[in-house]
Amino acid sequence: MFLEHTGSRTHRKGWIEVICGSMFSGKTEELIRRLRRAEFAKQQVEIFKPSVDTRYAEAEVVSHDASSIRSTPVPNSSNLLLLASDIEVVGIDEAQFFDDGLPEVCAQLAEQGIRVIAAGLDMDYQGRPFGPMPRLMAMAEYVTKVHAICMRCGDLANFSHRMTASQDLILLGETDSYQPLCRSCFLAQRNSAEASAATDKAHRE
Ligand code: ZN
């Protein structure tokens, strides 16, 4: 489990933490756990999420187990610089949906003495590194990768398999559209999808 390092109270130092993983890996729950601990320590806490994530009520970070903390939807990572300047701990949820400026914005906040905790999907449904996450992970002091359980074999899962045919990168995560899979089940699934696509094509020709 991640434990906060305890810095000097007089000289405030900032840093970046990243919590990443697949769908159903508990990223948001871990973000909320860290933020609640900071709240108990009477620190100024604020959460932001990209305004593209409108799955649930506006102005709320909601995790799948319904323990939620209020948050502010923002359209662009540069908005964080204005909104977060007086805050000690900045939480960012669904970080993968932010623009490419997010890692530099997080670095600027950390340089101002702010603790930044960003949670997001590290890979998209095709297993490709997702949006600003790779740079953010490279620039962070602490990276925590959390895992789901593979729905086919029960191993640890780090891929988010999409069960619908949509090619849209921003398809928001309802439980019925994604399955967490381990590498070998993800590969097996992709190979069988490619095989059946080839059969369909052969039938059409
Ligand atoms: Zn598996």
Q: What is the pLDDT of residues 9-26, one digit of tens each?
A: 566 789 999 999 999 999
Ligand 1 centroid from CA 25, angstroms: 14
Q: Please state the pTM of the whole predicted model.
A: 0.86
Comparing 103 with 176, the larger pLDDT belongs to 103
pLDDT band at 61 (very low <50, low <70, confident <90, very high): low
Tens-place pLDDT, residues 107-145: 999 999 999 999 999 999 999 999 999 999 999 999 999
Per-residue pLDDT, averaged over 82-96, amounts to 92
Cβ atoms of 46 and 83 closer than 8 Å:
yes
Ligand 1 centroid from CA 146, angstroms: 16
Report pLDDT for 204: 80
Q: Which regions of the chain does DSSP assign to beta strands (E)?
A: 15-21, 45-50, 60-62, 68-70, 72-74, 89-92, 115-121, 142-146, 148-149, 156-157, 159-162, 178-181
Give the residue among 156, 51, 151, 150 at the shortest CA–CA distance from 94: 51
3-state per-residue secondary structure call for 95-136: HHHCCCCHHHHHHHHHHCCCEEEEEEECECCCCCECCCHHHH
Supply 100's token pair. Answer: 């490419």
% of the chain exceeding 70 in pLDDT: 83
Ligand 1 centroid from CA 165, angstroms: 21
In order of their start, the domains of the chain are: 9-148 (3.40.50.300)
End-to-end CA distance of the chain: 55
Cβ atoms of 153 and 180 closer than 8 Å:
no
What amino acid positions are annotated as catalytic residues?
A: 94
The Cα diameter of the chain in Å comes to 73
Average pLDDT, the chain: 87
